[in-house]
Chains A and B, each alone.
Chain A
Amino acid sequence: MTINYLGLISASDLPASFTKFFVEPVSVGFPSPANDYLESPIDLNKYLIKNGAATFLVRVSGDSMLNANIADQAILIVDRSLKPKHGSIVVASLDGDFVCKRLQLKPRLCLLPENPKYEPIYIQHGQDLDIMGTVTAAINKFE
């Protein structure tokens, strides 16, 4: 087999009919009447996240918050910028593990589950509790 090197092809080497493809003006139809009313599509991020820099996603494992509509494997939206209040659902680190519970400040500091199968967790003296942030929403997927 022999190969003849013919050099590089540039647009000017091509026959004119190659480059001028559209000889007739192209019909473009009537502009869409919706063009004046264009709005951006609904954005779930905007609905779920107020403060992006301070928001983290956490996956739930377990059913201890079932009665607060937080199922196993739900995705929690956790906003670290919101100050947790009495009754807030929070993600906290307890002795080095993350847990999701309802925060009770009075009469005694306590993490409450939302499922009668589980006991409230009273924070003992010397126990390491650190609130990571407030849960503002939970996403449960069904399919």
Chain B
Amino acid sequence: MANEKELNIQETEKQEIAETGAERTRSRLAFVPRADIYETNDAIVLMTDMPGVDENSLDITLENDVLTINGYVETAYPEGYGLSYGEYRVGDYERSFTLSNKIDRDKIEATLKDGVLRLYLPKAEPSTRKITVAAG
């Protein structure tokens, strides 16, 4: 883990999104999805738990090194029933990560299965450039 960290985190805990600065336009609850991030030899893999989200209600954007995941959950309450005991709340998901520019952006793959998003972020081909410092 001592090697360079490819990802920096803006949000940490699984929690309701705190309204800091810009407010959300949708007046819905929003949560920070839990995420696993691991690094393989040729890629960074990011997995997030987003129950209730399907491929049509998921937005992933990459802008200026910031990867943002937005999942919109349609709250479908059982019709004709009343909630008699509730332990969890339903809402959207939102989380951002800062990526290093070592990711090959054109080859990013995203799959969503059973409410788990898997993002495959391939590392760019190593283009090591040594900068020679000229003696002044």
Q: Do A and B form a real pair? A: no
